Structure 1
Amino acid sequence: MSVFMVERDLKGISMDDLAGAQKAAIKTAAQMSDKGDKISYIRSTFAPEDGRCMCLFDGESAEQVQRLNDEAGLPYNRVVTALDLTP
């Protein structure tokens, strides 16, 4: 498994909608895992000043992470392989 970063432009999103988007990502990852996909939501970082949001997922491929976001109805600009440097 690898870490993938999903880049989003959410300028103007309300905090309620942001929370809903996070819940949708978590729920869809859990549903996919229940069906046998090896994928999980790690965390998100949001910069409200410019609306940039970076979400980390642990998964098998960028295509799998894209599918999760498509199924959850979440907008994204791109999905890239990332290194999670949390100590």
Structure 2
Amino acid sequence: MTTYAVQRHLQGITLQQLSAAQQAAIEAAKAVSAQGDPVTYIRSNFFPADQRCTCLFEAQSREAVERVNQEASLPYDKVEEVMDLPARH
């Protein structure tokens, strides 16, 4: 599976709305996976200074990640392949 970053601007979003958006992404990833196109939500980072958010997903295609965000009704600027480098202990 490939890791994809979804970049979005969420101007004026509240913490409660941000939490709801995260849950919508998680649920949409489960729904798309259940339809046979595996997508896993990994995590999100929110940058309050400029209201920017980056969400990481694992999937077999960019289109599957785009579909998750469309089904969750989440706006996004772009989806791109990234290298996720977790810390090694």
8 A contact 1:11–1:48 mirrored in 2: no
1:11, distance to aligned residue in structure 2 (A): 2.0
The question of 1:76 aligning with 2:76 is answered: yes
**What percentage of residue pairs aligned between the two structures are identical?**
47
Q: C-alpha separation between the residues in 2 aligned to 1:2 and 1:72?
A: 20
Q: Tell me how far 1:31 sits from its aligned partner.
A: 1.2
Q: Which moved more, 1:40-49 or 1:29-38?
A: 29-38
| TM-score of the two chains, using structure 2 as the length reference | 0.94
**Which residue of structure 2 aligns with residue 59 of structure 1?**
59
Normalising by structure 1, we get a TM-score of: 0.96
CA distance in 1, matches of 2:4, 2:84: 9
Q: Secondary structure at the match of 1:85?
A: coil
Count of aligned positions: 87
Is there any run of 5+ residues in structure 2 with no aligned partner, and where? none
The SS at the match of 1:24 is: helix
Give the unaligned 5+ runs of structure 1: none
